[in-house]
Every structure is written in structure tokens, then in C-alpha cells.
Structure 1
């Protein structure tokens, strides 16, 4: 849980929070990166919609945010790629947030990673449905209302595997490549109308491995990087707060790599 900041002597809390009076919809926010973003946004003063398929997990996230003094509500949603599911979530979120969505985070995604010859058509359609079609239609539903309200911010989640090939996971990687391309295209389409669109490209992000347990296979993928280890969900959340805030008001169409240097730097061990 991200701790809610408290004011210093003679300071008003709202003067220090970067997302005060903002509203935010974060998809796939009942766990992991999405949960960390929801908690960080709420800690910075935003009223957040936690969204996902699991109502029990969503309720726990909302309860934790409220216990820390933040504002949050849960909306169940199965973003299967249909335009109807995306439009329905957008409409319910606007109602819950008092009529507007200032920030949209397209975080929900699935990660089946079969080899290319082993990928059947059903799996292909499901991954593209959740990872590309759903955020496409959700953005299509939200961006016009942001424009009508005077502006907004959209943050997409990419991935380091969109630009650094790995032997398996071509299907997932291609969906993240699509989201990074959409980030630039939407920045050109909506930026002149007051909606900033950017993306975050995480490296391998995992919870800490308990002592005495077998390391996660993903940990080896961060060998040879400056960080030398996996990242935490909170690292991605910090970047999302910055992109959503006025501090990033001149940032458009950018993919921010928060990957421990995975895609840009090679460390040669002595």
C-alpha cells in the first residue's frame, strides 16, 4: 500500500498532492501493477476507479485505499475486447466519478506465452481482444468526453519485450508493440485537443521472492542490466503518477522505459 503523504508544518495537504481533484479509471487494478497505480494515484489525491474481474480482490484494494484516507470505488468489468464491454465500463466509471474521467490507465492484459506454432486461433483472438481491442475501444469511449471536458491524460502499458525480442511470447510482445504504436498515434490524434497520451514500458516486475523458495524464471531476464534485479509494481506506479501530473504537461507520445535498463544498456560482468 502506498502511504498517504501528510503535510509539513504550515502546509496544506492538498497543496502537496499532485492529483488533487482528479478522477482516474485504472483497468486491471485488483492486483500487481494496476493495484500499485491505483494506490499511488489515490495517495496523490485522485478519486480512483479500481476495475477488474475479481470483485473480492477489488474490494480489498478499495478497502485499503479508503483506510489510508483515499477515495476509491470498485467496478467489475470483463474487458474481453468487445466494444460493448469497453463502452459499458466507460459509462459506469463516468457516473461513479461524478461525470468525468480525467485519467485513463490502460493496464489490463493477459500473458499466455506459447511458442508461435503452438498458438491456436482462440488464444490469439483472446490475447488481442484483452490487450489491444479492449483498450482501443475504451480509449475511443473516453477520449471524446475528456476533450469535451477540456482535456485529460491517457497512459498505456507497454512492455520491454515489444522492442527486445525473446524466444517465446511473440503473441504477447506483438500486442504490446501495438499499444506503443497506438500511444504515438493517439498522441497525434488527441494531443492537439488537450488529451496527453503516453505509455510506460516495464521491465520484469515481480513481487519479492520469499527466502528459501525457487527464484521466478523471469528473474534471470534481468541479469546483465544496470539494475541487476526485477522491478517492483511501485516503480511503475511512480512513473504513472508523474505522467498523469502537471509535471509531465509537455510530454506527449512518449514511451517511458521503467525496465532497469533492460532495453537500452548491456552490463558486461567482469
Structure 2
């Protein structure tokens, strides 16, 4: 198992991509800390991991609350793998975008991973090893109507991926990014079901991704198999932006 005896923290792991990522990391031997706002979802993720013979625990944390992020850093203490997956995406046209949702998206999608990374990376640097994986979106790279704030927040996280890779270079800590296209998750379907299915039909593969397909890419970036990758983005979009 590639992550034997490692500790991994996955944010937004109570459903969707985060849950599947937590399960895959545990399958590879990691002890996984599942975090999110939904205790029931967190308990489900932990139960599925333990049923498969893995090790996991749940820590409730609201990524929109900076004090909750700081408490999470203190409670977790030390990890070998950090997956910054938690995000919100209340889409709106620019001329209708309100300030509370604007602020919330940058709080969850940028500020939370920034200070979570800043809080946890010192111990990675001291050990001389670690992998940080950020999860963004193809909306960070291509113009998509009604996603101005969401796309901008994720573009900021992609920029941080490159900056952190440069800052932590030579330390043994790698920082990479996965940029999914349309993904078939509960949250996406609840908020934008018709849109995501339409986008999926327009990809080169003609469908949306299952969450586990994105989780497999995250596992690759977290594992020693990607040992020569840092500061890079893997676009997992079914060929949506290939042509």
C-alpha cells in the first residue's frame, strides 16, 4: 500500500469527490481525517472506510469560519497528505452577484485552503516530505457564464499551487492541482443538475465524471507515483477543453 503509515486530511470529505478521495487514500494505507460541515455525511464516510478495513476519523469544521480552520489545524496537528477539496459554488450572472455569496466563495475556496496549508505545512517541511493536492475546476481556465466568482476563486487556488510549489521547492513537499470538468455529485446535481449534464454531453467523452474518477487523479498526485510532479495541474475533464 503506497500510503502506509501516513496521515491524510481531506476537506469536504462528507460527500462527492472528497468522500471518494478519503476512501481511496484509506485503501492505500493512510489514516484519513475526514472533515466537513455535515456530521452525518462524515460518519458515513468513516463507516465506509472502516467497513473496508481502513482507518478514519471525522472532525467537524466549517471552512467559511477562519477560527474553525485554525481549530482544525490545532486538532489535526500533523499530516503527510493534505487535500484541499472543500468548495462552494452558488452560480450567478455578474450583474446579479451579491456580496455575501461573493465573500463566502472566497472564504471557503481561497482563504480556507490558504490558512489550512499555512498551518499544516511547517511540520511537512520539518520532516522533508509531504503532498498537498488542491482541487479546482476547468472554470478557472475557460470562460463559463454565471461562474465569474467561482472561476476566479479557483483560479486563485491554481495560482497558489504554483506559488507554494516554488516556496516549498527543495524541501520534499510537493504541491499539485487537479482541475475537474463536469462531475456527477450530489451537491452539483442539487444545485446545477441540468447544467452539469449538458456540459457532460459536450465533452469529448460525452458524459460527466463519476466522483471516483477524479479521486483517482488525486490519489495519484498524493502518492509516490507522482514523485516528479510539483506545481502542475492535471485537467480531468473528459476532453472538454481539448478542442
Query: What range describes the TM-score normalised by the shorter chain of this pair?
Result: over 0.9
Matches within 5 A, 1:200-239: 200-207=178-185, 216-239=194-217
- Structure showing greater radius of gyration is 1
Total equivalences in the alignment: 237
Aligned mates of 1:225, 1:150 — CA distance in 2: 40
| Structure 1 residue runs of 4 or more that deviate by more than 6 Å after TM superposition | none
Secondary structure of the residue that 1:200 maps to in structure 2? strand
Deviation, structure 1 residue 207: 4.6
Q: Does 1:243 align with 2:231?
A: no
Map of 1:46 onto structure 2: 30
**Structure 2 spans left out of the alignment, 5+ residues:** 187-192
Aligned mates of 1:207, 1:88 — CA distance in 2: 28
Two-structure CA RMSD over aligned residues (Å): 1.3
Deviation, structure 1 residue 81: 5.0
Q: Does 1:133 align with 2:111?
A: yes
TM-score, scaled to structure 1: 0.85
Question: Quick check: 1:43–1:70 contact (8 Å CA) kept in 2?
Answer: yes
Deviation, structure 1 residue 33: 0.4
Deviation, structure 1 residue 20: 1.0
Q: Higher helix share goes to which structure? A: 2
Q: Does 1:91 align with 2:71?
A: no
Aligned partner of 1:197 among 158, 171, 175: 175
**Structure 1 spans left out of the alignment, 5+ residues:** 1-16, 95-99, 209-214, 266-270
Aligned mates of 2:57, 2:69 — CA distance in 1: 18
Map of 2:21 onto structure 1: 37
Aligned partner of 2:153 among 175, 191, 206: 175
TM-score, scaled to structure 2: 0.94
Question: Quick check: 1:143–1:190 contact (8 Å CA) kept in 2?
Answer: no
Secondary structure of the residue that 1:114 maps to in structure 2? coil
